[in-house]
Amino acid sequence: VEAEKRRQQIVIYSISGFLLLVVGFSYLVYNRYKLISKQKQIIEIQKQLVEDQKQVVEHKNAEITQSINYALRIQQAILPRSEEIAQHLEYFVLYKPKDIVSGDFYYFKHANNTSIIAAVDCTGHGVPGAFMSMVGHDALNKIVLMKGITSPGPILDNLNQEVRITLKQQEH
């Protein structure tokens, strides 16, 4: 009887211990499940934020690219037309800008029975260089067409002066 009682106590303690272990393990699994659920929710929110930011960046990139492509059309409009050069010279032009818009441009005008030809490399590439090419082109037009200067030395001296004035590096 005593041995039977002892065996029953061992079984009860064993089952109680096992149930306690199962409850403890279940509690750990449940807490882990809650933690993983929270982490998954945070990851989903972060993924949505990244997707939203990606869409903003893609939209801005499209706007910038569209703007630069429009600037390219403007920059191409200042380049001399082939027909204009062909009236005065046999020629070819190899023009390969590094970026969509460029600080490099070529210039041609025929004034006072003289053909003025220039291959110009302005400081900078991309948009800053394109601004400089517009400044350079405008200055060359002013020098050749408005001032009537057709000699290389005076053109370069005037070009230097015009660019410095435009960039406010020198007063008039």
The whole-chain average pLDDT of the chain stands at: 92
CB 104 within 8 A of CB 122: yes
CB 119 within 8 A of CB 133: no
* Residue 106, number of CB atoms within 10 A of its CB: 16
User: pTM of the full predicted structure?
Assistant: 0.68
The predicted-structure confidence for 43-96, as pLDDT tens digits, reads as follows: 999 999 999 999 999 999 999 999 999 999 999 999 999 999 999 999 888 888
Q: Is the pLDDT of residue 172 over 70?
A: no
Q: Rounded to an integer, what distance in angstroms lies between the CA atom of residue 34 and that of residue 39?
A: 9
Which two structure tokens, joined as six digits, stand for 77?
Answer: 């409009």
The predicted-structure confidence for 100-151, as pLDDT tens digits, reads as follows: 888 889 999 998 889 999 999 887 778 888 899 999 999 999 999 999 999 9
